[in-house]
Chains A and B, each alone.
Chain A
Amino acid sequence: GAGVSQSPSNKVTEKGKDVELRCDPISGHTALYWYRQRLGQGLEFLIYFQGNSAPDKSGLPSDRFSAERTGESVSTLTIQRTQQEDSAVYLCASSPAFVAGYTFGSGTRLTVV
């Protein structure tokens, strides 16, 4: 597509429920990144995918967070047993390679009540 697409744009969920966030990268972009941005804060790295290589999961904050990507296409970020501190905007970016500029999606605003 023309840009990075994220869905849903907004998600309100009850504490303890699982949520799944989706990211469609730009076609042909081999690298895909997930970041978290809490209100008024900077961006925290979560996970990185590059082609068929093993992902860099070192930024995932707990074992309740997981992410998958099939080849060089769609990625999903799953948060299990959501907590109030998970409330944030989750941003996805893609790039042609690691050493190239990123294009960000519009994000998913997650609110845990």
Chain B
Amino acid sequence: GIQVEQSPPDLILQEGANSTLRCNFSDSVNNLQWFHQNPWGQLINLFYIPSGTKQNGRLSATTVATERYSLLYISSSQTTDSGVYFCAVGNTGGFKTIFGAGTRLFVKA
């Protein structure tokens, strides 16, 4: 099945810093999403982005499907950005959406 790798696994930032999270995947996809899981466990959908670029406030994402990777950019980080960021991909051959292991982000005040 499709493999998903996220990097880095852990990231510590000073408030106000920018960061880039990466998601590599092993096969063609027709569904790619980025999620934020807050410290209380709630998963929030950030982007549905199987290709192209999207922006939402301080967050933006880019997926280059032909090169099988996606990037999530966080600018001017805030302490509320802390949590785990997951990339999830759906393969063209089936309906499973597979989650990566996540990037754990801690933003220091």
Interface residues of A (CB under 8 A from B): 33, 35, 42-43, 45, 48, 50, 56, 58-59, 89, 91, 93, 98-104, 106-107
Q: Which residues of B sit under 8 angstroms from A48, Cβ to Cβ?
A: 95-96
Residues of chain B from 24 to 51 with CB closer than 8 A to chain A in the complex = 30-31, 33, 35, 41-45, 47-48, 50
**Smallest distance from the beta carbon of A18 to chain B beta carbons, Å?**
25
| A42 close to B42 (CB less than 8 A) | no
* With contact pairs A42-B101, A107-B41 given, residues A56 and B95 touching in the complex (Cβ less than 8 Å): yes
Q: Does B102 touch A at the CB level, under 8 Å?
A: yes
Tell me, yes or no, whether B86 is within 8 Å of chain A by CB.
yes
Q: In the A-B complex, list the 6 residue pairs whose CB atoms are closest, starting with the nearest.
A: A101-B48, A104-B43, A43-B99, A48-B95, A101-B45, A56-B95
Residue of A33, A93, A99, A102 near B50 (CB, 8 A) is A99
Chain A interface helix/strand/loop/mixed: strand
Measured in the bound complex, the distance between the Cα atoms of B88 and A98 in whole Å is 13
Interface residues on B, range: 20 to 34
Q: Does the CB pair B43–A91 fall under 8 Å?
A: yes
Cβ distance A93 to chain B, nearest Cβ, rounded Å: 8
Given known contacts A99-B50, A103-B45, A42 and B99 CB-to-CB distance under 8 angstroms: yes
Besides A100-B48, A101-B48, 20 more A-B contacts (Cβ < 8 Å) are: A42-B86, A42-B101, A43-B86, A45-B99, A50-B95, A56-B95, A56-B96, A91-B43, A99-B31, A101-B33, A101-B47, A102-B33, A102-B97, A103-B45, A104-B35, A104-B43, A104-B45, A106-B41, A106-B42, A107-B41
Task: Provide the residues of chain B in CB contact with A59, threshold 8 Å.
Answer: 96
Bound together, the chains give a CA A99 to CA B35 distance in angstroms of 16
Nearest CB on A from B53, distance (A):
16
Within the complex, the shortest CB–CB distance from A11 to chain B, in Å, comes to 15
CB contacts (< 8 Å) of B48 on chain A: these are 100-101
Which residue in chain B gives the minimum CB-CB distance to A93? Answer: B43
Best-buried of A50, A58, A89 by chain B (most CB within 10 Å): A58
